C-alpha cells in the first residue's frame, strides 16, 4: 500500500523513491517496491543519471536489459 501511495502521489521516479524512503519504518523494502513500480511507469529514462552512474555492475545490468 505504501509503495502504491508513493507512486500515485508523486510525478517522477526520484520523487517516488524518495517519498518511500522518507516514510520511515521498513523503508528499504518499501523503496524497492516503489522503485520497481516507478520503473514500470517512467522507464529507465526516468531514473536520474547520477543514480545510474553509481550502480555497481551497471554494464552487466544493461547487458541483461537491452
Q: For residue 24, give Cα distances in angstroms to 18, 21, 50, 60.
A: 11, 6, 24, 31
* 29 has a pLDDT exceeding 90: yes
Nine-digit cell at 63?
A: 547487458
Reported as a pLDDT band with limits 50, 70 and 90, residue 26 is confident
* Residues in binding site: 26, 28-29
Is there a contact between 19 and 9 (Cβ–Cβ < 8 Å)? yes
Q: What is the mean pLDDT of residues 18-25?
A: 95
Whether the predicted pLDDT of 60 surpasses 90: yes
Binding residues for Mg(2+): 26, 28-29
pTM: 0.87
Amino acid at each position: 500500500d505504501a509503495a502504491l501511495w508513493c507512486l500515485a502521489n508523486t510525478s517522477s521516479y526520484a520523487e517516488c523513491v524518495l517519498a518511500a524512503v522518507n516514510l520511515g519504518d521498513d523503508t528499504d523494502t518499501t523503496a524497492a517496491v516503489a522503485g520497481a513500480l516507478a520503473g514500470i511507469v517512467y522507464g529507465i529514462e526516468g531514473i536520474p543519471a547520477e543514480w545510474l552512474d553509481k550502480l555497481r555492475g551497471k554494464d552487466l545490468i544493461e547487458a541483461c536489459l537491452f
